[in-house]
Structure 1
C-alpha cells in the first residue's frame, strides 16, 4: 500500500530576542507570506492531509495556521529538535494515515528526505524555510525505498 508523507518546514521566523526561548520565536512578515504561499501550493495540488503532526514551536504552529487555516492537528513535541531516525520512527507510528503532513524543522527534515529517497543522509541539502517535500512511501519508511513526488522551494 502506497502512502504519502508531506514535510513542511516552518517559514522564516524572527530572530530570538535576548533571553527568548527558541521555541517561542514567531514568524516574520516574510515568513507569513511564505506560509500562505505554501498553503496555496498544497491546495493547487489537492494535497489535503489525512493527519497533521506539528512541532509545538510557535513558528511551526503559525506556519500551519497560515498555510492550511484551522485544521485538526496533533501538536507533537517529538518533532522539535528531532533527528532523522526519530522522525522516521514517528512517521512509522502513523503508517495508517494515507497522507501524513509533518510541520517541523531542519536539519531533521532535509535528512529524512535524503534517507527515504536516496538511502544516504548527506545526499540532500536544501530544505529552505517554507519548503515542502512530498514523498511516496511504498511500504515501510526504509532508506532509499521512497520516491520524491514533488518539491517546493519558495
Structure 2
C-alpha cells in the first residue's frame, strides 16, 4: 500500500474569535499548494483515494489537485496517528491513499511507520511524504519513496 501524507500549505495565523478549522491559506500557501498539486498529479495513480481534514486550510490545499476527495473527521487537528492510520486503512488499502492533514500528527505517523519510537518528523508546510508498505522475508516494512517540498518542485 502507498500512503501519501500531505501537510497543508502555509495558513493564516489565528485571530481573535476565529476557529482553528476556519484558518485559510495565505497567498504563499496557495502557491505552495498549486506547485505540489502539479507534482502529485503527475505521480498519483488515478485510483488513489484522497482523504482531507475538515480544516479549511487542508481543503484549500487539496483543491488545486482537481480530484475528488472526502473530508474526514479522523484527520482533524489533534485526532492522532491511530485515527489517521485507521481512516487510511493502513496497510491494507488496495488503492494508494493521499491524506491531507496536520502536524504533529503527520510527523508522528511517519515516525511510527518507519520505526522511530516516541518520535516525530518535522514536515514542512505544503510538503509530501510518500510511504509504501511491503512484506520482506515474512516481515512488514515501510519504505520512504519520496519526500517533496513545494519549494523544490
> What band does the TM-score fall into relative to the shorter chain?
0.7 to 0.9
Distance 1:86 1:11 in 2: 21
The reply to whether residue 34 of structure 1 matches residue 48 of structure 2 is no
Q: Structure 1 length as normaliser, TM-score?
A: 0.85
Secondary structure at the residue paired with 1:12? coil
RMSD (Å), alpha carbons: 1.9
Q: Secondary structure at the match of 1:96?
A: coil
Instruction: State the TM-score, normalized to the length of structure 2.
Output: 0.85
SS of the aligned residue for 1:129 comes to coil
3-state secondary structure, aligned to 1:126: coil
Paired residues of 2:3 and 2:131 also in contact (CA < 8 A): yes
**Corresponding pairs, count:** 144
Could you tell me which residue of structure 2 aligns to residue 12 of structure 1? 10
**Match status 1:151 vs 2:152:** no
Contact 1:119–1:145, Cα closer than 8 Å, also in 2: no
Matches of 1:75 and 1:7, distance apart in 2 = 15
Which ranges in structure 2 are unaligned for 5 or more consecutive residues? Answer: none
1:126 pairs, out of 122, 126, 149, with 122
Question: Structure 1, unaligned stretches of length 5 or more?
Answer: none
